[in-house]
Amino acid sequence: MTRFEESAPVKGGFSFDLCKRNEMLVQKGLKPSSYLKTGTTIVGLVFRDGVILGADTRATEGPIVADKNCEKIHYMAPNIYCCGAGTAADTEAVTDMVSSQLKLHRFHTGRDSRVVTALTLLKSHLFSYQGHVSAALVLGGVDVTGPHLHTIYPHGSTDTLPFATMGSGSLAAMAIFESKYREGLTRDEGVKLVAEAISSGIFNDLGSGSNVDVCVITKGNREYLRNYMLPNLRTYVSEKGYSFSKKTEVLMTKITPLRELVEVNEGGDAMEE
Amino acid sequence: MPKQQANWSPYDNNGGTCVAIAGADYCVIAADTRMSTGYSILTRDYSKIIQLADKSVMASSGFQADVRALQKVLAARHLLYQHQHNKQMSCPAMAQLLSNTLYFKRFFPYYSFNVLGGLDSEGKCKGKGCVFTYDAVGSYERVGYSAQGSGATLITPFLDNQLKSPSPLLLPAKDAVTPLSEIEAIDLVKTCFASATERDIYTGDKVEMLVLNASGIRQEFMELRKD
């Protein structure tokens, strides 16, 4: 008597059935398709009246800049924003998803969202995907319990910090924070420090670049300062300009008349048979 | 024990882009001055260009340690040539020497992507610009213009559009020196680098341009984006 082994249908999540096949293909020489990584500098810090988030605006695909001015500071709630580093699709998807969940929760409870709610939703999602959702986040906001700043790693662990940096430029930015951060910064001092940390990432890390985005969140108010600094304008524009008049050259023209295959019977009793 | 793959590589890529354009009576060679490794910048002020003879200039991108070693070998060989023949090497002669030097290390190559530029000094081609382009093991060709390095894939289609005849089938392939003036060629090179810098993370900081013509060699710098 043969024994049947039935595997239960997988409900949601990733199916790892094709992993062996993929490994075999890679051994045979197939190059896996690349995905857009943001190779990034993102930072956050807590100041006197709330939190300030900062990010660069370069999105890379390997050594090529795919987007020179992308937005890495994502909206979660009116009082909560989240910076994302890692795979661009993952950071977009996970922040959009949790943002929707928070909105539904606000309708359900009739209260403003809390940062720890966003934190728990994000970390449990990322943990359940065991690090395959490559999103490294800096979550910050101000709620009834006060200002909060957290970092979230792709595998689902979190830290609560007074200042934080993530992404390929995190070391360059952290060097600035560790030298100059102190408690009780004013708004202007805080924004200046965040801009300095992001600039450090932009100029010293090749994965980060272009402009500085800043978001200041205080009790009852937030300022999204898109392109707060533009330190990287194009250095040379030719005065005379360039024309691209050379079209694809026509080497040969040949016209082939189509032959009619179907004979059409004009009139006659074709239908009456 | 199954066969183990080496997890140490003797090579590294220091990035960078090199371009050369040949004109009727001049030659422009340019390279950016950024040297990097991985995602970090080692220095913003590194020259990838070397003058090998009075009418031959070479720009190389790739692994700069190998590039330095190659430059030393070529300089030494040129000195020997001068002692034996009592004259400077012509650009086509230097081109052949470079090719042979690279092929000599066919089975442990110089990780160096070179363009050689200069002025032809023989016979009726005297004073005409010449550009030679190489792969890492010495395959070379005389061309009217060339780009090598990390930004080459971004620059070459633009130069093809601006400098090349529409199709090799229409115009017979001949000495493809560009009819552009020296000023126009320099403008083209500056545009190439400014554009490549926008999209290639390994290109930036500054571009060093050398112009060879009948009156000698002139050096020019232009600032590029530093991010």
DSSP-based three-state secondary structure for A120:
helix
Does B40 sit within 8 Å of A204, measured CB to CB? yes
CA distance A227 to chain B (A): 15
Contacts of A157 (CB under 8 A, 6+ apart): A123
Phi-psi region of A227 (alpha: psi -120 to 50; beta: other; left: phi over 0): left
- Determine which helix (DSSP H) or strand (DSSP E) holds B96, and give its type and residue range: helix B91-104
Of B179 and B156, the one with more pLDDT: B156
Contacts of A52 (CB under 8 A, 6+ apart): A44, A45, A140, A187, A190, A191, A194, A214, A215, A216, A217
Of B194, B197, B60, the closest CA to residue B135 belongs to: B60
Closest alpha carbon within chain B to A200: B227
Q: What are residue B41's DSSP bridge partners?
A: B36
Residue A175: other Cβ atoms inside 10 A: 15
CA distance A127 to chain B (A): 28
CA gap B25, A255 in Å, rounded: 46
Of A69, A56, A61, A141, the closest CA to residue A98 belongs to: A141
Distances (CA, A) of B93 to B51, B116, B157: 14, 11, 29
Strands (E), A17-63: 42-47, 50-55, 59-61
Tokens of A153: 């790693």
Which residue carries 């408690």 as its tokens?
A183
Of A65, A236, A251, the CB nearest to B190: A236
DSSP-based three-state secondary structure for B160:
helix
B93 has a pLDDT exceeding 60 = yes
Query: Is A40 part of the annotated catalytic residue set?
Result: yes
Average pLDDT, chain B: 92
Does A68 sit within 8 Å of B191, measured CB to CB? no
**Mean pLDDT split into 10-residue runs, chain A, 273 residues:** 52 71 82 65 96 96 93 97 95 96 97 97 95 95 97 96 95 97 96 97 95 96 95 90 78 85 69 59
Residue B46: other Cβ atoms inside 10 A: 18
Tokens of B221: 């710098």
B58 has a pLDDT exceeding 50 = yes
Q: What is the pTM of this model?
A: 0.84
Of B39, B166, B187, the CB nearest to A246: B166
Tokens of B137: 């093991």
pLDDT of residue A17: 76
Which region among A4-18, A242-256, B20-34, B203-217 has the lowest average model confidence (pLDDT)?
A4-18
CA distance B189 to chain A (A): 10
Distances (CA, A) of A261 to A82, A176, A254, A264, A269: 64, 77, 21, 10, 21
Strands B40-43 and B49-53, how do they pair? Answer: unpaired
For residue B227, list chain A residues with Cβ-Cβ distance below 8 A: 58, 202-203, 208-210, 231-232
Distances (CA, A) of A138 to A57, A114, A170: 15, 15, 11
Average pLDDT over residues B141-145: 91
Of B150, B226, B219, B160, the closest CA to residue B188 belongs to: B160
Strands A135-143 and B206-213, how do they pair? Answer: unpaired
Does B225 sit within 8 Å of A235, measured CB to CB? yes
pLDDT of residue B123: 65
Catalytic residue, chosen from A40, A87, A95, A165, is: A40
CA distance A200 to chain B (A): 10
Which residue carries 């089938």 as its tokens?
B169
pLDDT of residue A14: 67
Of A182, A180, A179, A225, the closest CA to residue A52 belongs to: A225
- Crossing angle for the helix pair B91-104 and B64-85, to the nearest 10 degrees: 130
B223 in contact with A at a CB cutoff of 8 Å?
Answer: yes
Mark which residues 152-191 of B lie under 8 Å from A by CB.
161-162, 166-167, 169-170, 187, 190-191
CA gap B22, B143 in Å, rounded: 8
For residue A64, list chain B residues with Cβ-Cβ distance below 8 A: 199-201
pLDDT of residue B166: 47
Tokens of B204: 């930036």
Average pLDDT over residues B200-218: 95
Question: Chains A and B: how many Cβ contacts under 8 Å?
Answer: 72
Radius of gyration of chain B (CA): 18
Of B46 and B175, the one with more pLDDT: B46
